[in-house]
Amino acid sequence: MNTRLLAALAFTTAILAPKAAASINAYTVNFNDNAATYTGNFLRYGDDSTMTGLTWGAAVGTNGGGGLTVTEGAARNLFYRPNPTAANATSTFNISAQAANTTFTSTLDFQWGSTTATTQTLITAGFVPSNTSQTALTSSGALAGSLIRTASGSIVTLRMRNGTANAGSTLDFNQSALTAGNWYRLSYELTKTAVTNTFDYTVSLFSIGATGTSTASLFNDGSKNITLSGSVTNSAIYADTDAFFAYDIRGDANGVSRVDNFSVATSAVPEPSTYALVAGFLAVGFAASRRGGRSRA
């Protein structure tokens, strides 16, 4: 291939490649290594020094691999964020610097223990602003997708949380539609729009089977798909340069009994001007290549 065309291609790759930044673009933890893959990353709400309510096991996760058994059903939520004692360096996202149409996608797998219990259980994923304190994903400024069964009955609610309130509508279904002992996946997508302080969101529940290895299928309770979409306004997260992504869990054998496979990733759509610039350089490279070919003929 002509060296000028190669140079143009290399420049194009450089333009499209993610830019280095102090914050991260993604993280994943599958808990397959050992207890060290979570020790120090789980804390109880409001407590920066105590890790309780979870037990790592080599065969309690999806597909019989490593995972966590949840035993915190009555006291405070368990809160996960990587390296909380190291300024949360591996969970910090600079949302303010992200362009419009950037999407943050998170999934986490969990086992549902009982379809007849009425104790409170929940699992939540989302952003907390300013990355400075051990606060819940239902606190002021937070923006998160959540699934909860309260202590007052058998109804499970899928919801989008915006600070201390639900954002828009919620979606209820009876837990009897779930299968005790099966694995499910909470999916949370948040897209930064071009409208200041506004995000689009989708929160969905997927079924992944008895071992957590089945192809994910959108869960249906027999009458409706369990998914929510909409828009939400949140100035704290939109302008945040060091928001941290966290998971908030409460459960036991009667609810969210096991958890595994936490992930969050950022995907950005290049601006139209970037595509135009790339096309221009490719055109120049192609033209140079044609000229070089003719001169050697």
Task: Give pTM, 2 decimals.
Answer: 0.81
Query: What are the pLDDT digits (tens) for 88-110?
Result: 445 678 999 999 999 999 999 99
Fold of 21-267: Jelly Rolls (2.60.120)
Residues ≥6 apart with Cβ < 8 Å to 170 = 157, 158, 159, 160, 228
Predicted local confidence at residue 50, as pLDDT = 57
Mean pLDDT of 21-32: 76
Where along the chain do its domains lie?
A: 1-18+271-297, 21-267
Distances (CA, A) of 208 to 58, 109, 179: 20, 8, 11
Q: Is the pLDDT assigned to residue 230 strictly greater than 60?
A: yes
Q: Is the pLDDT assigned to residue 17 strictly greater than 80?
A: no
Of 207, 212, 167, 198, nearest to 66 (Cα)?
Answer: 212
Mean pLDDT of 153-165: 94
Predicted local confidence at residue 132, as pLDDT = 60
Query: What are the pLDDT digits (tens) for 171-215?
Result: 999 999 999 999 999 999 999 999 999 999 999 999 999 999 999
What is the crossing angle of helices 3-16 and 272-296, to 10°?
Answer: 170
Stated length of the chain: 297
Q: Is the pLDDT assigned to residue 12 strictly greater than 90?
A: no
Higher pLDDT, 208 or 28: 208
Please tell me whether residue 290 adopts helix, strand or coil conformation. Answer: helix
Q: How many helices (H) and strands (E) does the chain have?
A: 3, 18
Q: Find out whether 79 and 247 touch, Cβ atoms under 8 Å.
A: yes
Q: Is the pLDDT assigned to residue 34 strictly greater than 70?
A: yes
Distance, C-alpha 69 to centroid of its chain: 20
Of 139, 232, 133, nearest to 191 (Cα)?
Answer: 232
Query: What are the pLDDT digits (tens) for 120-157?
Result: 999 999 998 866 655 678 888 999 999 999 988 899 99
Three-point CA angle 33, 207, 82, nearest 5°: 35
